[in-house]
Structure 1
Amino acid sequence: MSALSIHINQLAYNAQNENSTTKASEHIIADIALDIKPNECVCIVGPSGCGKTTLLNAVAGIINTQNDDVNEHVSGDIMLQFATPSPTIGYIFQEPRLMPWLTLYENIALVMPKDDPVKITAILDAVGLAAQANSYPNHLSGGMQRRASIARAFVIEPLILLLDEPFVSLDAPTAMQCRELLISLAKLHKTTIIFVTHDLNEALYLGDRVVFLSPSPARIIHELALNNVYKAYDSAAQTNLKSELFKRFPKILEGQLSQD
Structure 2
Amino acid sequence: MQTAGASRPVEVRIDRKVFHGANGGEVEAVRGLDLSIAAGSLTALIGPSGCGKTTTLRILGGLDHDYDGSVSVGPETRIGYVFQEPRLLPWRSVDQNVRLVLDDPDAVDLTAIYGRLGISDMGRRFPGELSLGLARRVSIARALAIRPEILLLDEPSASLDETTAQRMRALILDVWQADRPTTVLVTHNIREAIQLADRLVLLAPRPGRMIGDVAIDRPQDARDTAFIETLREDLIRRFPETIA
Same fold at TM > 0.5: yes
Distance (Å, rounded) in 2 between the aligned partners of 1:162 and 1:175: 17
User: 2:16 corresponds to which residue?
Assistant: 10
User: 2:81 corresponds to which residue?
Assistant: 91
Q: CA contact under 8 A between 1:201 and 1:233: conserved in structure 2?
A: no
Amino acid at match of 1:46: G
Give the superposition deviation at 1:120: 2.1
TM-score, structure 1 normalization: 0.85
Q: How does 1:96-175 map to 2 (within 5 A)?
A: 96-116=86-106, 119-175=109-165
Give the superposition deviation at 1:28: 1.0
Q: CA contact under 8 A between 1:232 and 1:238: conserved in structure 2?
A: no
Q: CA contact under 8 A between 2:154 and 2:187: conserved in structure 1?
A: yes
Cα distance change of structure 1 residues 49 and 194 upon mapping to structure 2, 3 Å threshold? same
| Unaligned ranges ≥5, structure 2 | 1-6
Distance (Å, rounded) in 1 between the aligned partners of 2:229 and 2:220: 9
Distance (Å, rounded) in 1 between the aligned partners of 2:222 and 2:159: 21
Distance (Å, rounded) in 1 between the aligned partners of 2:107 and 2:43: 32
Deviation digits for residues 152-209 of structure 1, max 9, x if unmatched?
A: 1111111111111121111111111111111111222220111110000000011110
User: 2:71 corresponds to which residue?
Assistant: 80
Deviation digits for residues 68-126 of structure 1, max 9, x if unmatched?
A: xxxxxxxx4121112x3121111111111111111111111111111236522321122
Structure 1 counterpart SS, 2:40: coil
Q: How does 1:27-106 map to 2 (within 5 A)?
A: 27-65=28-66, 76-82=67-73, 84-106=74-96
TM-score, structure 2 normalization: 0.90
Structure 1 counterpart SS, 2:243: helix
Distance (Å, rounded) in 1 between the aligned partners of 2:63 and 2:240: 34
Deviation digits for residues 33-56 of structure 1, max 9, x if unmatched?
A: 000001111101111111111111
2:194 aligned with 1:204? yes
Distance (Å, rounded) in 2 between the aligned partners of 1:221 and 1:203: 16
Cα distance change of structure 1 residues 214 and 251 upon mapping to structure 2, 3 Å threshold? closer
User: 1:237 corresponds to which residue?
Assistant: 227
| Unaligned ranges ≥5, structure 1 | 18-22, 66-75, 255-260
Distance (Å, rounded) in 1 between the aligned partners of 2:241 and 2:224: 20
User: 1:193 corresponds to which residue?
Assistant: 183
Distance (Å, rounded) in 1 between the aligned partners of 2:88 and 2:196: 25
User: 1:247 corresponds to which residue?
Assistant: 237
Give the superposition deviation at 1:247: 3.1
Cα distance change of structure 1 residues 175 and 16 upon mapping to structure 2, 3 Å threshold? closer
Q: CA RMSD in A?
A: 1.9
Structure 1 counterpart SS, 2:209: strand
Distance (Å, rounded) in 2 between the aligned partners of 1:41 and 1:114: 29
Which structure has the higher relative contact order (CA within 8 Å, separation 6+)? Answer: 2
Q: CA contact under 8 A between 1:230 and 1:238: conserved in structure 2?
A: no
Q: CA contact under 8 A between 1:204 and 1:231: conserved in structure 2?
A: no
Question: Any runs of at least 4 consecutive aligned residues in structure 1 with deviations exceeding 6 A, and if so which?
Answer: none
Between structure 1 and structure 2, the one with the greater Rg is 1
